[in-house]
Amino acid sequence: MSDRSRDGATAEALAHPNIALAKYWGKRTYGHNLPAVPSLSVTLEGMATRTRVTLDAGLGEDAFLLAGAAAPDAAKARVVGLLDRVRSAVGSTLRATVESANDFPTSSGLASSASAFAALATAACAAYGWSASDAERSDLARKTSVSAARSVFGGFVELRAGVEGDTFLAAEQLAPEGTWPVAIVVAATTRAAKETASTEGMLHTVRTSPYHEAWVACAPQVFAQAKAALAAHDLEAMGDAVEASAFAMHADAIAARPAVVYWNAGTMAALAEVRALRRSGVGVWATMDAGPHVKVLTLAADADRVRDAMRAVAGVVDAFVAKPGAGARTSRAEPGAP
Ligand code: PMV
């Protein structure tokens, strides 16, 4: 590709987090950042990461500011890795300043890398003059964070498992937002940052958990159930798959040596409330990611009362409703943003 990048070019993008209804957990031992299992997620509106990329011929190295402050080295290395891929695709040597901010608190349990790298992939392609397709941006984001591949798309999204020889792997939209009136009630059970990052937790699980093979064997069936339930708008079948996926993933992690336990007392109390609501006839199903927060799948029409019930649980520090949202997109640069 001929180099279309130019000094001073700038682009801003925004992306939303997503919640996996059928989880990704574990990477292939071959290839680059390939998921060992297929996953199915819903992208959520309301919360966003906004990222601006500005090319600067005066920079000897890339700069990365997170919420206005220089980011830690490990976070910067991942950002530079993504920028290097974009530069090599367009043949550019220009360094960039990346400014990124979340409009949702870390304690929400949704401050994952998904929205961050979907927004960065989108802003970086635009700033470097690469008119990448959605699939190309998804693959680019996936190479840094698997879950970010899914946030490039809105609504309900699938990412297949990687297979030997894959150099390109992108997520695909299964159904746009607005096609199925469901909601996710996020019940946060701590305001503290998580103790074990997802990449670290899953690498350790792959290496040491005696249940990992069983997880890799059962995840595709649970994914297939979730996909069929989405096509049929069968919330009960989806809820059953959602809980099967989350508990199997956590069982795999808990069986690692030493154990990777993401839950706290609030998690258990929130799970008990989900079961109690279900017994009382409300359609609610729980899922948890690499942290202690509980995310509850329910009908949009039931979401407010589910949120109120979750807020009343001892150990739940906040609860809010998130609906299916749109994919990553460039946005007009606002003065002073992000
Ligand atoms: O791609 P990462 O490092 O954000 O890992 C995501 C792992 C889970 O959130 C636990 C599951 C998932 O599919 O999002």
pLDDT in tens, 134-192: 999 999 999 999 999 999 999 999 999 999 999 999 999 999 999 999 999 999 999 88
Measure the CA–CA gap between 151 and 162, rounded to whole angstroms: 18
Q: 179 vs 195, which has greater pLDDT?
A: 179
Mean pLDDT along residues 185-204: 88
- Looking at residue 196, its pLDDT comes to 78
- The confidence band for 97, taking pLDDT boundaries of 50, 70 and 90, is very high
Q: How close is the Cα of 56 to the center of ligand 1, in Å? A: 33
Give 39-91 as a DSSP string. EEEEEBSS--EEEEEEEETT-SS-EEEETTEEPPHHHHHHHHHHHHHHHHHHT
pLDDT in tens, 64-76: 999 999 999 999 9
Q: 54 exposed, middle or buried (CB, 10 Å; 0-12, 13-18, 19+)?
A: buried
Is the per-residue pLDDT at 195 higher than 90?
no
Q: How close is the Cα of 128 to the center of ligand 1, in Å? A: 28
Ligand 1 probe mutation, 289, 293, 294, most atoms within 8 A of CB: 289
Mean pLDDT along residues 44-63: 96
Ligand 1 probe mutation, 147, 151, 158, 184, most atoms within 8 A of CB: 147
Is the per-residue pLDDT at 1 higher than 70?
no
Kindly list the protein residues whose Cβ atom lies closer than 6 A to any atom of ligand 1. Answer: 20, 23-25, 39, 112-114, 145-147, 198-199, 289-290
Ligand 1 probe mutation, 18, 23, 250, most atoms within 8 A of CB: 23
Measure the CA–CA gap between 48 and 86, rounded to whole angstroms: 23
Phi then psi for residue 322, to 5 deg, are: -125, 130
Q: 193 exposed, middle or buried (CB, 10 Å; 0-12, 13-18, 19+)?
A: exposed
- Looking at residue 338, its pLDDT comes to 47
Q: What average pLDDT does the chain have?
A: 95
The residue whose CA is least distant from atom 10 of ligand 1 is: 289
Neighbouring residues of 279: CB distance < 8 A, sequence distance ≥ 6: none
Mean pLDDT along residues 13-42: 97
Ligand 1 probe mutation, 146, 216, 295, most atoms within 8 A of CB: 146
Is the per-residue pLDDT at 127 higher than 70?
yes
* Residue 147 Cα: closest atom of ligand 1: 1
- Looking at residue 107, its pLDDT comes to 56
Neighbouring C-beta atoms of residue 55, cutoff 10 Å: 23
Q: How close is the Cα of 133 to the center of ligand 1, in Å? A: 23
Q: Residue 95: what residue type?
A: R
pLDDT in tens, 278-292: 999 999 999 999 999
Q: Dihedral angle at the C-alpha atoms of 110, 111, 114, 119, nearest 10 degrees?
A: 120
- Looking at residue 194, its pLDDT comes to 72
Is the per-residue pLDDT at 335 higher than 70?
no
Give the global pTM: 0.96
Task: Give the three-class secondary structure for 274.
Answer: helix
Is the per-residue pLDDT at 2 higher than 90?
no
Measure the CA–CA gap between 276 and 252, rounded to whole angstroms: 26
Measure the CA–CA gap between 109 and 2, rounded to whole angstroms: 41
* Residue 19 Cα: closest atom of ligand 1: 14
Measure the CA–CA gap between 330 and 338, rounded to whole angstroms: 13
Q: Name which of 104, 108, 114 is nearest 151 in CA terms.
A: 114
Q: Name which of 181, 188, 180, 182 is nearest 320 in CA terms.
A: 188
* Residue 289 Cα: closest atom of ligand 1: 10
Q: How close is the Cα of 194 to the center of ligand 1, in Å? A: 13
